[in-house]
Structure 1
């Protein structure tokens, strides 16, 4: 069996192996004035989750549905590579110019 056939067999077999899915949910969203926007991601599983490959995409208010009709592009996106969430834990993300509210 040559290398190419072996690679094909491995690809086919690996597709049959069940993959465990991590449970990441958006558990809270806070929208204050100006840049005061916060997003909490929570891990509902009993194992730590790497966010490598996860991307958050930002849309302007008027364009949130436009992609369905005209293929509009998002206002920006952020890779979450290098971040992780501990088991049953949370990760708080905020705008780099956000200010913690006085009541927090």
Structure 2
């Protein structure tokens, strides 16, 4: 599982595992969404995959309920997550066979 840790207050997030978002012009919301999609993509097993899916769903639903994104954007984010999760599930099913 990839964990985000704050490197310096106000300087963005750093992902353990090699990716760094420090000093990024990308908004923090998009950074978090990308981090959650990467958690799905790189899940070590089905438990991690389902946890990442639930975490992403809650994050995106929270953005919608807080009126930070519109309904069409919510649908786009959900479809994107579904595709990433399907690819990860296919990869995991090949590994476990």
Q: TM-score range by the shorter chain?
A: under 0.3
Higher RCO (CA-CA < 8 Å; seq separation 6+): 1
More strand by share: 1
Q: Which structure has the greater CA radius of gyration?
A: 1
Taking structure 1 as the reference length, what is the TM-score of the superposition? 0.25
Taking structure 2 as the reference length, what is the TM-score of the superposition? 0.26
